Chain A
Amino acid sequence: MGLSLNHFLVLGALLFCIGLYGALAKRNAIAILMGIEIMLNAVNVTLIGFSFFNTVKPYSTYLTGQIFAIFIITVAAAEAAVALAMIISIYRKRSTVDVGEINLMKW
């Protein structure tokens, strides 16, 4: 049996739910950020898989999935920079990166 789109989709799904678990279950803010990076990579895997297995045109001339992946990487880089800056800023003020102790998201 050869590889099909499903292989990549299932791989992406596994990665996504592992990343989701990391983002939901970890106390450390940096660990949460890592989980989010895993989720973004899972999406990239899925998009590039779609791009490769597209039924519309030859993959080489139909690269929308890859373009999307590029944008995702761009945004992920920006997000990582801002998020880490925030983490460091919070750490300076509170000497902790435990999100369980940070309850700023309310009135």
Chain B
Amino acid sequence: MAFYQDSWLILLSPLFSFAVIIFGTRMWDLASRGRVAATSGPEAAALAAEESGTQLMEGHGPHGEEEVLEDDEDPKVPRLTMGARVSGYTGIVILALACIYSWLILLNSAGVINIAPALPTSGVTVLSYDWFNQGTASYIISFHLDTLAITMMVVVTTVSLLVQFYSQGYMENSAGYARFFSYLSLFTFSMLVIVFAQNFLVIFVGWELVGLSSYLLIGFWINKRAKPDEDRLSPATASIMAFITTRVGDVGFIIGIMILFTTTGTFEFATLASKTDPHGVIHAFAGNTGLLTAAMILVFCGAIGKSAQLPLTVWLPPAMEGPTPVSALIHAATMVAAGVYMVARTFPLFAAADPAAFQVVAWVGAITALYAALTALTQTDFKRVLAFSTISQLGYMFVGLGVAGTVLGPGPGMFHLFTHAFFKALLFLGAGSVIHALHHATHKEVQEMSKMGGLAKYMPITAITWLVATLTISGFPFFSGFYSKDNIIGLAFQHGYYGLYVITLGTAGLTAFYMLRAYILAFGGKGGGFGGLWGGTYRGEGEPHESPRTITIPLVLLAIASIVAGYWTGFFGYIQPGAPNLDLGVVFTDPLTWIGVVVSFVGLGWAYVLYTRFELAAIHDFVEGNIVLRFLHRLTLRKFYIDNLYDLLIRYVVFGISHIEAAFDTYVVDGIVNGVAGAVTGAGRGARRLETGKVQAYMVGFFGGIAVLAIVVVALVMFVK
């Protein structure tokens, strides 16, 4: 048991490296830079820029020319100090150990290797601390490890490790290198708190920690300004936006937790599940499953916020302003996965509620998936396409959770989360590799796909891994996304949700289209090899080069994982004992599977024909020439005007209410306060006359008071016995 019990080491190791970096090596970094600053000019300037937040950039191009960039992104240092390097190594080494340990736990508990006894079905509690007891309610901080947590833990540690390794290359000249690694460690820790949480109390703490970490990381480039012509916010604004938007969902989350707690008197997932079990002895919600349903839908609101589902999708695309490794981490393993994981974790509660609860989950997921896929069709920003694809894939996960039923449990949704983590991390890290290369080539931050094209011949490793990820997310057969996504689409049909089936199936085709579109726009184009898939006209400036090994190694590893992850056929049974496993024979003979494959091939083929046969400008002109297409293009490019809708809503409704409240505050609250103050001032002005400075006046007051008291006492003695 100690093998599992000691997994608290995994939980606390990122926190440890966070502390070490923040209090130790980062100080070392800053101190050593301070010493260098006395002798060397540019480094002192860079240090000053980071410290004071001024907008100073140093050109560091391969041509050696001093060139001040137009974007003021991140203060640079010519080379990292030893302290900064050690910061990175600390984070990576500690996380690598944690990652190895978590893989050992996964393999052992799945029965692949046998170095320790099997994990009990109910899991093991690794850390437990009685915070305080109050009446019958007890508030326990406890961390738990079961198969669901192990799966997620592996995903989190693996993706975090690869992202940190990758960041060595991506952030190579950043002045905030040490700070970046400390934030990454904190982010990993926050997510692990959610993963290990055994009750709503702890999961909520982790929930908010994740919000904080994402805030810190999205806004990492504090000096960067907004780019209105590219419809991009400044990172600082985007981080605030992410924080506030998820907070909106958290309100529902808190209310849901409160309802559950007041009714059952516990936060523990296990106790809650037994108390809400429809066949159980004690049913806290007996005769009132409507309340339970409402509570679970409110809890799901939290997941909507964190996982950027409709109507709270707006924060995720601006969150692309953070460094690309952060985007990978957010999208693959931590922030957005938290919502899915939380729903999977509370799966028994959703199952105990009315079917409406799961239907809400599934329909929100499906509509979001469709919406995001439609929006992604026309986005021109490389990372923004990925952002919408994440939203769309998260929608799939919620559909998977919503339609699975109690026999399969959270398995299908979690399976897609598991595979998605690898290929989405790969997509983002590949995008980061492209941005990194283009930054070196053009000294600008290029994210517009119209300035890419034909990159495959410059950076083949990035291109091939990206193509793997594209095919995976598109549901190309034999890649992992094929198994996990088609499984969800098939489940929707088998369980009688035909509306969901149609939506998810259509979305799969759209996904294939926009992902291959993004690939061809970036890496291929008209005139390239393999009919336009490999190379083509490069539309940007300069000469891009393949990224360094620190960047390409994670890409290759993730590409392998993206293919292999789908062959874990025992996943469902691992997550929920008794659930039927994925049978590859059935998968390949099921006509539903082939319908899905055909749909995704249609999407892929369409994108292939459109973007390898025609120049981008030609397609653009054609769309602009047709009024219907132009309208649709605008509609999806502007994200169906949801941002504008929120803008109007906030500007007129929220600000309107705020004005009323401000008026109330000014005239009523301030009126009372100022009135009291005025009365006191007036009384004081009057009382000032009493202070004559003459001793006899005071004596009269003193003895007059005694006389009055005497009268009162006499009256009391005489008339009140």
Chains A and B directly touch (beta carbon < 8 Å):
yes
Chain A residues at the B interface, C-beta cutoff of 8 Å:
20, 23-24, 32, 99-100, 102-107
For residue B35, CB closer than 8 A to chain A, the reply is no
Least CB separation from B698: chain A residue: A105
* B694–A24 CB distance below 8 A: no
A-B pairs with beta carbons under 8 A, tally: 27
A104 to B693, CA, bound (A): 5
* B692–A23 CB distance below 8 A: no
For residue B626, CB closer than 8 A to chain A, the reply is no
A104 to B699, CA, bound (A): 14
- A24-B698 CB under 8 A given contacts A105-B693, A106-B691, A106-B692: no
Which 8 A/B pairs are nearest by Cβ-Cβ distance? A103-B693, A106-B693, A105-B693, A106-B691, A103-B694, A105-B695, A99-B696, A24-B699
**Contact partner of A103 among B692, B699, B703, CB < 8 A?**
B692
* B694–A23 CB distance below 8 A: no
Chain B residues at the A interface, C-beta cutoff of 8 Å:
691-696, 698-700, 703
* A23–B698 CB distance below 8 A: no
**Contact partner of B696 among A24, A104, A106, A107, CB < 8 A?**
A24
* A32–B696 CB distance below 8 A: yes
* B703–A100 CB distance below 8 A: no
A104 to B691, CA, bound (A): 11
Least CB separation from A103: chain B residue: B693
A106 to B690, CA, bound (A): 10
Least CB separation from B694: chain A residue: A103
* B693–A23 CB distance below 8 A: no
* B700–A24 CB distance below 8 A: yes
Which residues in A have their C-beta under 8 angstroms from that of B703?
A: 20, 24
* A99–B693 CB distance below 8 A: no
Which residues in A have their C-beta under 8 angstroms from that of B695?
A: 99, 102, 105
Least CB separation from A27: chain B residue: B696
Which residues in A have their C-beta under 8 angstroms from that of B692?
A: 103, 106
Least CB separation from A105: chain B residue: B693
* B700–A100 CB distance below 8 A: no
Output the least CB separation between A36 and chain B (Å). Answer: 10
Known: A99-B696, A102-B694, A106-B691. 14 other contacts (CB 8 A): A23-B696, A23-B699, A24-B696, A24-B699, A24-B700, A24-B703, A32-B696, A99-B695, A100-B694, A105-B693, A105-B694, A105-B695, A105-B698, A106-B692
Output the least CB separation between B709 and chain A (Å). Answer: 15
* B694–A99 CB distance below 8 A: yes
Most buried by A among B692, B694, B698, B700: B694
Which residues in B have their C-beta under 8 angstroms from that of A104?
A: 693
Which residues in B have their C-beta under 8 angstroms from that of A20?
A: 703
A102 to B696, CA, bound (A): 10
A102 to B693, CA, bound (A): 8
Which residues in A have their C-beta under 8 angstroms from that of B691?
A: 106-107
A103 to B696, CA, bound (A): 10
Which residues in B have their C-beta under 8 angstroms from that of A103?
A: 692-694
Output the least CB separation between A92 and chain B (Å). Answer: 19
Which residues in A have their C-beta under 8 angstroms from that of B698?
A: 105
A91 to B609, CA, bound (A): 114
A99 to B699, CA, bound (A): 12
A50 to B550, CA, bound (A): 101
Could you write out 25 A-B pairs with CB less than 8 Å apart?
A23-B696, A23-B699, A24-B696, A24-B699, A24-B700, A24-B703, A32-B696, A99-B694, A99-B695, A99-B696, A100-B694, A100-B696, A102-B694, A102-B695, A103-B693, A103-B694, A104-B693, A105-B693, A105-B694, A105-B695, A105-B698, A106-B691, A106-B692, A106-B693, A107-B691
